[in-house]
Chains A and B, each alone.
Chain A
Amino acid sequence: MKLYFNYLSIHFRSQMQYRTSFLMLTAGQFLIPFTVFAGVYFMFERFGQLKGWTFFEVTLCYAIIHLAFSLSECFARGFDSFSGLVVRGDFDRLLVRPRGTVVQVLGSAFEFTRFGRLIQGGAVLAWSISQLPELWTFPKLLAVLLMVVNGVFVFTGIFILAATMCFWSVQGLELANVFTDGGREMAQYPLGIYEAWVRKFFTYIIPFASVSYLPLMLLLDKREGSTAELLLLPFGGALFLLPCLLIWQIGIRHYRSTGS
């Protein structure tokens, strides 16, 4: 853990060397989801509701997913840019060091500019909660926090899976975007608005449903359920992350250096 924080401070100092670029990028990261958010706002202005979901219920869903996504992009960036390590042959260096590969890859890159997106997500979350008084109890707020953490698990799991693919081939990596960027675009709306095949895939294969949709149903009293259920649901992501880490370990055994 100490090692990881050392990595963090090194990356932070190096990124602060290009201050203007850093600020511009952070601002850009703030703006990107902002246009998406503006899209949601204008659509609600025109249509009023979305299959029984109100504006603030949807923005709550949106905020949780975007917070989770930007946190995982911040912290798990190393897995996201892992193909670079493999192509350059730099992964060899990691393997000979007496530390775990996961923590080293996690520490190999860190994107502080994603704080822009993080701030935006946090602001939307605070605004949505302030407009939804039914959430103002301790277990419910705790559940919201757990949902964000759970989202980080799911996104990190996908990043790890995509990185593991690099052990076999670095071609076709773009496909992973379907699950990261595509997953984010999809899960920022309640899953209930989609057709059954999309819903099932993102419940049972990649458990985005456990991040936002299923807990939200309980949070917003759209479905009956106990508090225990509410607080347990957000652990679906951990169930997803564990096999991903296992596959990563299998992948490492198949690693052949690019040489050069």
Chain B
Amino acid sequence: MSAIHLKAYASLWRIRFINGLQYRAAALAGIATQLFFGFVFMMIFMAYYENSGVSPDLSIQQLVTYVWLQQMFVAFIMLWYRDNELFTMITGGNIAYELCRPVNMYVFWFVKLLAQRMASALLRSLPIMLVVFFLPEPYRMSLPDSPASFGLFLIALMLGLLVVVAISMLIYISVFWTMSPVGSTLMIAVIGEFFAGLIIPVPLMPDWLQSIVYALPFRFTADFPFRVYSGHIPVNEAITGIGLQLLWILALAVVGQWLMRRALRSVIVQGG
């Protein structure tokens, strides 16, 4: 990849990022929604914890952090993230123009999706952060376990973002074959989000299910960085996890590139 290419990708990222920052009213509504969902989820989990004989692996403190991080970085972890532009491009035929560009399509789309999610997360996470650090107990978000876990959390979070975009790229590419975006997206998104720990935190799942979760990439988008933050995953394990994240990103990107090349070789430009 030459320098001129890198520059093209960098400016695409900048344009998309600035573009994403324009939707402030939507972000405001999003913040309210996220805060509400956070409260509801926590009250539900706390009700389970209350007067229960078992003492679960995840403490209330860690649970609260888990839920708030989830709400803050919802743009980083949702597999189901509307980008109808790419869908309509494929199903509507405008893909032809994309093919004329002298860039690698996979990287081009990847950067686009990345920038969108980052802008959306920036708009939402900072205001939510301001609120949740000052909430009364027991809903207050706690500080990271140690400086080391905070540093590793930041790395894991960014790598998690790459994992999520790499998975969503596979969903987009599948549209070349199915031509119906909603069906396939919905199926993968629903299952993936469950395995990422968005419905119930991974440590609260039964053991047999946890072993399935650990064999799949989805948990690296949400569950893994969040537990690194709270120290539930200790520093040395976190470093191994980051290595696994890198491997998954590599594998997903290689498969995605290959599938994309195949799809583009036989692409039928729709519409007219």
Contact = CB atoms under 8 A, between A and B. Distances in A.
A248 interface: no
A174 B206 contact: no
Contacts of B187: 24, 27-28, 31
Contacts of B205: 42
A185 B45 CA distance: 13
Given A42-B206, A48-B52, A172 B29 contact: yes
Interface of B: 25-26, 28-30, 32-33, 36-37, 39-41, 43-44, 47-54, 56, 178, 180, 182-184, 186-187, 190-191, 193-194, 199-200, 204-206, 209
B25 to A, nearest CB: 4
Main secondary structure of the interface of A (DSSP, over half): helix
A195 interface: yes
A24 B33 contact: no
A23 B186 CA distance: 12
A174 B180 contact: no
Contact of B194 (A18, A35, A43, A182): A35
A32 B180 contact: no
A189 B33 CA distance: 18
Contacts of A178: 32-33, 36
Contact of B206 (A35, A46, A49): A46
A87 interface: no
A50 B48 contact: yes
Contact of B183 (A21, A38, A49, A198): A21
Given A31-B191, A48-B52, A178-B36, A173 B43 contact: no
A183 to B, nearest CB: 10
A220 B190 CA distance: 33
Contact of A48 (B53, B182, B194, B200): B53
B204 A173 contact: no
Main secondary structure of the interface of B (DSSP, over half): helix
Contacts of A20: 178, 180, 183
A175 B180 CA distance: 28
Contact of A50 (B41, B47, B194, B206): B47
Contacts of B183: 20-21, 23-25, 27-28
A45 interface: yes
Contacts of A24: 178, 180, 182-184, 186-187
B60 to A, nearest CB: 13
Contacts of B206: 42, 45-46
B37 A185 contact: yes
A69 to B, nearest CB: 15
A159 to B, nearest CB: 16
A138 interface: no
7 smallest CB-CB distances across A and B, nearest first, come from A24-B183, A28-B186, A174-B29, A193-B47, A21-B180, A39-B199, A35-B194
Given A35-B190, A43-B204, A185-B40, 5 more contacts: A28-B187, A45-B206, A46-B48, A48-B53, A198-B40
A26 to B, nearest CB: 9
B219 to A, nearest CB: 15
Contacts of B40: 182, 185-186, 194, 198
A183 B244 CA distance: 38
Interface string A33-67: 00110110011011111110000000000000000
B26 A198 contact: no
Interface in A170-190: 171-175, 177-178, 181-182, 185-186, 189
Contact of B180 (A18, A50, A171, A198): A18
Contact of B44 (A25, A28, A193): A193
